Structure 1
């Protein structure tokens, strides 16, 4: 993300790991990788919380970050998708690094009729280069965008899968699977791995989930298709 950097722990062999999986209908709060998860509420992340004697105060977030989020959380969510998989990142090479079978999962989902759209950052774009300066990552983000493109390029031309590059300012990395989404919010001057991750579930039209889904669509329209090879 910007893409997200490699998390602290990586699963091996299987998409199921010993890491905990976030139920899509609940929100939990993590304070550090070593603390025990504490349930804050059984409500979905998109459900507003009533204020004292007043209107809802808005949705809550799970204060979790990529380095403490097991890759199995992302993989399990994508594996469950039946209609839509959308990924909007600059690089997010941690997914392929921690789970080499990611392309196989995406091919399998596409073969079952799931529409898969992948948008990675254009390493030559001004916005990607500026992000490297802002996060004090220099040309590292550009090289990671190229690496992400190398990982995803074999999927270009696979029926049901589209891969594109985009040159937009990435405000959030988005990983959507049907009515679920993991959203890595980006913070100026902070690497993506240290920024919050929202785990959302669509609970109705016009909510937070649809806002991010619409953002993906808007970026997708500006993106350039990647050729096979």
Structure 2
């Protein structure tokens, strides 16, 4: 069955089989099969195609949608994503934008947020102005745990540079009422993104960069569940984190 959506998007953008194949580094016959036979590419290829076309990968290939909570068997689990790279950035942005009471972010760097959504600081400032308490913890570039992560992921000093760059992105928010930015040197088992009773958990896998590791979307449904376990973990790290001072 032909992929009519892909066909239409390519036509609107003036893409040919050959031009799209060259852009995403595949054989033109592969593109032809996606369009005319409805074949589904590998996730990595699908991501490159979606980026080139300016489309949502899951809209082009519904078969690549995440596993839903009904199949995962937990009342707190909203969705599973095989990789963070499979998680639409809109999932993060929309969740944060809907927060009314609390936003917590625990990462080493997570540069993808600012790089793919440059208005993130504006969003956080507006939420804070509306009364939302915001806590952001990024990695201390000088900590041994950050350096160890770089060695484990074969990323070397790059992870330290990314931590510094993440802090540069968030630095304009330092001093904004309702927003607290700190650095931490803990072993980061999971990156956490919380907005009220919703949380995205980016699990970390030894030797795998964060974008290649799974993400699960949790919704708090009661005391003592998975959500609270991660929320308490955030609080424990936050208590050890160092406030970032104003630059003079």
* Partner in structure 2 of residue 162 of structure 1: 180
CA distance in 2, matches of 1:83, 1:38: 28
2:63 alignment partner, SS class: coil
1:64: Cα distance to partner? Answer: 2.7
Measure how far apart 1:19 and its partner are.
3.4
CA–CA distance in structure 2, aligned partners of residues 155 and 98 of structure 1: 18
Give 1:71 deviation, angstroms.
Answer: 0.8
Residue 192 (structure 2) aligns with: 174
Instruction: Choose between structure 1 and 2: higher helix proportion.
Output: 2
From 119, 129, 154, the counterpart of 1:136: 154
Q: Classify 1:198/1:206 alpha carbon distance in 2 versus 1 (closer, same or farther; 3 Å).
A: same
Aligned to 1:35: 63
Question: 1:47 Cα shift?
Answer: 2.1
- CA–CA distance in 1 between the matches of 2:221 and 2:104? 18
When normalised by structure 2's length, the TM-score is: 0.73
> 2:116 & 2:78 partners in 1: Cα distance?
29
Contact 1:165 1:225 in 2 (8 A): yes
- Partner residue in 1 for 2:208: 190
Counterpart position of 2:126: 108
CA RMSD of aligned residues (A): 2.6
How many angstroms apart in 2 are the aligned matches of 1:145 and 1:199? 24
Shift of 1:63: 3.7
Residues in 1 aligned to 2:108 and 2:196: alpha-carbon distance in whole angstroms: 21
**2:115 aligned counterpart, secondary structure:** helix
**3-state SS of 1:90 partner:** coil
TM-score with structure 1 length normalisation? 0.79
Residue in structure 2 matched with residue 92 of structure 1 by the alignment: 110
- What is aligned with 1:119? 137
Distance 2:207 2:66 in 1: 29
Give, in angstroms, the shift of residue 18 of structure 1. 5.4
- Cα distance in 2 for residues equivalent to 1:101 and 1:10: 19
- Whole-Å Cα distance in 2 between the matches of residues 63 and 220 of structure 1? 26
Contact 2:99–2:132 (Cα < 8 Å) also in 1: yes
Q: In 1, Cα distance between the equivalents of 2:56 and 2:130?
A: 27
Taking CA–CA contacts closer than 8 Å with sequence separation of 6 or more, which of the two structures ends up with the larger relative contact order? 1
2:201, 2:227 → 1: CA distance? 10
Determine whether 1:47 maps to 2:84: no
Higher radius of gyration, 1 or 2 = 2
Once the two structures are superposed, residues 10-64 of structure 1 have per-residue CA deviations (whole angstroms, 9 ceiling, x without a partner) of 69xxxxx95389xxxxxxxxxxx7834266454897428xxxxxxxxxx797143
The answer to whether 1:212 aligns with 2:243 is no
CA change 1:151–1:10 in 2 (3 A) is farther
Aligned to 1:25: none
Q: Which position in structure 1 is the counterpart of 2:56?
A: 19
